[in-house]
Amino acid sequence: MRKLNRGRSTRSIYLSLACLSLALHLLLAFFCLSVLQTACVLPSSSSSPATDALNHESHSSIYSAASSSHQAKDSISGAAEKEKTLISAGKVTQTFKRQSKLEALFKHLLYNLPQPELQEDDWLLRVKPNEHARDTESKEMEKEEAILIDSEWQSASSEEGYDRVTWTSDMETHPPWLRFHLGITRRELYSRNDPNVAQLTHYLATQRILAAVQKPGGTQLKLLMSFPNYGQALLKPMKQPRDAETDVNLFYFSDFERHNAEIAAFHLDRLLGLNRVPPVVGRLINITAEIREVTTDSKLSRTFFTSPAGNVCFHGQCEYYCSTEHPVCGQPHALEVSLAAMLPDLNIAPRRSWRSPWRRSYSRTKLAKWEKDPAYCDTVKQTPPYNHGSRLVDLIDMAVLDFLMSNMDRHHYETFEKFGNETFLLHLDNGRLRQCCKLMIRRSTLLRLRLLSLPDFRLSDVMRESLVQDPLASVAPLLSEPHLSALDRRLATVLQVVQSCQRHHKDVIYNDLEEYDKDHDRQPE
């Protein structure tokens, strides 16, 4: 009997120990699960203390190049502190989990700097009634003018396919392309916050195509497309796969112009904060229905044919690559194209074309002057229109854009005549600096480049995100990953060149943020 009780007691002890062991294992499991869950939760802000420390270290290394200048140490530290303030100011906007890098970029202070108020002469085009002649006209003419001012503008066109347009002095009644024209200023083609840019690209991507003719001039095939409400766009067709890389042995202008390069240039220009490339959008069109059957260009019509594979093709007439050996072909009718918004007609907004001081010689044996003259930069800086105003730093902005795109064929650029030398350069024809340290780069441009080199705003990441907005992104990525990686490498090269220049020269940076500095200095500490 005693042995039986002892056996029961032993079993009770074993059972208690087993229960205790199970409880401990469950407790340990819950503890591990909570630890793992905490580790997997994303931080509420991409600007964590560790990230801030890393960025601070990065900023310190970036600004270390400037410390070799001839200014006093306190001035250098003050300037560097302002730079770090400008770059780090946007981090407070990243407060949501997994926030879009693109949204965070455009909320950053460097993309929202205060600008002087625009004056009447700063607008390229203005809609206003003709009231100046009233003092010298008869009362009868005065009444007639009053009626015209109050009435609506109606197009008298009876051409088939065009909408009967009713535009009033109210800008809301204007089609997107006209609002784009009326929004051009001395500073930029459009404001980054202008909702009409999205409306314009949507218009170009969806509106019915009424006519197509080949655009005269140029070296490669381009078409001028017409839409309802008298809108127009410049079309560049797809001629090779998007991810095709240029043969390193090709001469500078021997590559095809790429439709996706035009689209990418528009997005990159916005990411750099320049806003100087006309809005561009991708579109999938029907070669037969939207080009061949609507064209009135007899020369273009004669170049259409059906390939042995059954695809509809054409080649047009131009200086390069317009032949049956270099056709533009559909699949069998579908064709990817880029459509760029047209600028105002030259009759109402004349433009002036300038030869780039750093254009190529376009000779296989001769070098351009800038390639062999060490003092060439000094010559440029002393030559009109580069010896005053902002023309020189505008040229550097364009050079940075071209380098990031690997566009080596910028032989000309344009400006609006109305604004003279005090205006931006038009970044046109983007289908494809280190030479001198004494050329100045805008401080705002340099700070944005530094910002785009940081992990929180990496150029390749925001470029990828921006390009997803284009309609053709649903077919395939506009830029391949190797192309996006190349942007980061080229950006690093630009920053390295600027740092190197700052170590050996003064006045490398053109300070266009003086007003911000004054406001910053006025703020209480």
Residues forming the annotated binding site for ATP? 220, 236, 257, 340-343, 414, 429
Q: What letter would DSSP give residue 483?
A: H
The binding site for Mn(2+) consists of 257, 429
31-37-40-42 Cα dihedral, nearest 10 degrees: -120
CA geometry: angle 482, 88, 108, nearest 5 deg: 70
Asked if residues 262 and 340 have their Cβ atoms less than 8 Å apart, the reply is: yes
Secondary element (H or E) of residue 201 = helix 196-206
User: Residue 462 corresponds to which tokens in the numbers above?
Assistant: 């925001």
Q: Coil, helix or strand for 489?
A: helix
Report d(CA 479, CA 404) in Å as an integer: 13
Cβ-count burial of 8 within 10 angstroms (0-12 exposed, 13-18 middle, 19+ buried)? Answer: exposed
Interacting residues of 442 by C-beta distance below 8 A, sequence separation 6+: 393, 396, 397, 509, 510, 512
Distance of CA 247 to the CA centre of its chain: 25
DSSP code per residue over 207-268: SPP-EEEEPSSSSS--EEEE-GGG-EEEEEE--S-TTPPPPTTS-TT-SPP-HHHHHHHHHH
Exposure pattern of 376-415 as b/e (b: 16+ CB <10 Å)? Answer: bbeebeeeeebeeebbbbbbbbbbbbbbbbebebbeebeb
Secondary element (H or E) of residue 141 = helix 139-150
Q: Coil, helix or strand for 481?
A: helix
Task: Give catalytic status of residue 409 as yes or no.
Answer: yes
Interacting residues of 110 by C-beta distance below 8 A, sequence separation 6+: 86, 87, 89, 90, 273, 444, 447, 448, 451
Report d(CA 318, CA 487) in Å as an integer: 31
The residue type of 165 is: V
Q: Which of 297, 397, 409, 456 is catalytic?
A: 409
Asked if residues 111 and 192 have their Cβ atoms less than 8 Å apart, the reply is: yes
Q: Which residues are known catalytic residues? A: 409
